[in-house]
């Protein structure tokens, strides 16, 4: 994987940071995208990479980030759409502003990032897109109506993308984790403990597996990681 170029969104912590830490030793030239520059720097931890702070709900930021990546490293080989926002509130309490924010972050941004990166991915001999969805893309939980809708949309988008570009040499995968013990889950589900929950590092290992087995026919285009707990979770 030496000198291959990888973009990771939401790289400032949680799953994104764990994926970055897993890919650094593999020789990737990493591009870290996220809202908080200080968190991105902590993920980088002094290692050479491209840090591009900004809001992925901003179309201009996305296009500039893709262009800056190509300008700096010459192309894009791996795209990991990990950034996302969760929800824990009743359907009647959700405002349209909150709906738009969740859908823009979890669905529209990955769509635009893929679209903007596509010309560069098409030039790569190892082009791969990995979208991080959720178990809620397959199941519906109370208090997560918009979040579930956004992850269902991301799942469907990735499945269609996989079929459309498989023969063109681009692999598109979606990972649908169950509860991952990150800061986002701590906020949305403070009643849960880390016991039995997936760790961010587990998702990073799945990403590594998909990369290493890219050209192996047995790799599915959908992986659901789910550990049973007593109550539903994200």
> What burial class does residue 19 get, using C-beta atoms within 10 Å of its C-beta: 0-12 exposed, 13-18 middle, 19+ buried?
buried
Token code pair at residue 71: 């300008």
- Compute the C-alpha angle 22/24/223, nearest 5°: 35
* Closest-CA residue to 212 (of 27, 9, 14, 18): 27
| Under 8 Å between Cβ of 160 and 141 | no
Structure tokens at 31: 């591009």
CB-based burial label for 196 (10 Å; 0-12, 13-18, 19+): middle
Place of tokens 């023969």: 167
Bridge partners (DSSP) of residue 32 are 8, 51
Q: Which of 226, 204, 228, 218 is nearest to 18 (CA)?
A: 204
Cα 114 to Cα 117: distance, rounded to the nearest angstrom: 5
CA nearest 192: which of 217, 229, 155?
Answer: 229
Which active-site residues does the annotation give?
147
Tokens matching residue 93: 């309490």
């Amino acid at each position: 994987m030496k000198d291959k170029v990888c973009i990771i969104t939401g790289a400032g912590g949680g799953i994104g940071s764990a994926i970055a830490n897993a890919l650094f030793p593999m020789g990737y030239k990493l591009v870290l995208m996220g809202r908080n520059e200080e968190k991105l720097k902590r993920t980088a931890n002094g290692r050479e990479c491209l840090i591009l702070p900004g809001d992925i709900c901003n179309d201009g930021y996305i296009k500039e980030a893709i262009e800056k990546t190509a300008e700096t490293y010459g192309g894009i080989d791996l795209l990991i759409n990990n950034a996302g926002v969760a929800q824990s509130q009743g359907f009647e309490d959700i405002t349209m502003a909150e709906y738009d924010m969740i859908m823009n972050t979890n669905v529209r941004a990955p769509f635009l990032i893929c679209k903007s990166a596509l010309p560069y991915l098409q030039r790569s001999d190892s082009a791969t897109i990995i979208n991080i969805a959720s178990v809620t893309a397959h199941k519906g939980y109370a208090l997560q109506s918009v979040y579930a809708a956004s992850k269902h949309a991301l799942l469907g988008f990735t499945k269609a993308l996989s079929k459309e570009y498989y023969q063109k040499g681009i692999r598109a995968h979606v990972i649908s984790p169950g509860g991952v013990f990150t800061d986002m889950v701590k906020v949305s589900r403070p009643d849960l403990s880390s016991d039995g929950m997936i760790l961010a590092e587990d998702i990073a290992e799945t990403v590594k597996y998909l990369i290493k087995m890219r050209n192996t026919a047995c790799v599915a285009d959908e992986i659901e990681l789910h550990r049973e707990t007593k109550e539903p979770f994200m």
